[in-house]
Amino acid sequence: MKAIILASLFSFAVSPIWPLGENPLPGDPFIVVNKKTNEAALINENDVQFITRAATGKTPDLTPEGLFTVTVKAADPYYRKKDIPGGDPKNPLGSRWIGFDAEHTDGRTFGVHGTNDPESIGQYISQGCIRLHNESVETLYNLVPLGTRVLITASDKSFYELGVEHGAIRPQSQ
């Protein structure tokens, strides 16, 4: 029985639906954050569907770059650093939290979230997270499931080019 369970776990772990360490498949939701332009995009169904302004780290090293996975989603997230409940107008996390596993964390350290300071959007101001206007993060929250891949980069490439490069967009044959 133990051998069957181990074999099942192994076959699941190496199956193509296992999200860790893999690029998205064309058509899968894919979040891209470009620290160079302070913008975020959702690529879905083989197309860039949504682009919005973002705020990122005060210094380039605060917002980690790489390919990550959404592991936590929360509506009206609790802000534990200052004991501020979700939904409170003083809560700096805004209305939604989309946490991902950067720097070997569990999705509760780094995330895409709303803000109670809309004037901060477009600036280099955070401690590492990606801030969006609450309306934008709510749209994104409703469109991405757990397991969605998140690319954070500082690039001169367009979101379309990044989507092609990372497999979220399959270019149309000409």
Point out the residues that are catalytic: 113, 129
User: Token pair for residue 99?
Assistant: 């946490």
β-strand partners of 69? 149
CA dist 11 and 135 (Å) reads 40
Which residues 6+ apart lie within 8 Å of 83 measured at CB?
A: none
CA dist 78 and 95 (Å) reads 10
User: Which of 113-124 are b and which e, b meaning 16 or more Cβ less than 10 Å from the residue's Cβ?
Assistant: bbbbeeebbeee
User: Token pair for residue 166?
Assistant: 């990372």
User: Token pair for residue 125?
Assistant: 């101001």
Rg over alpha carbons for the chain, rounded to the nearest Å, is 17
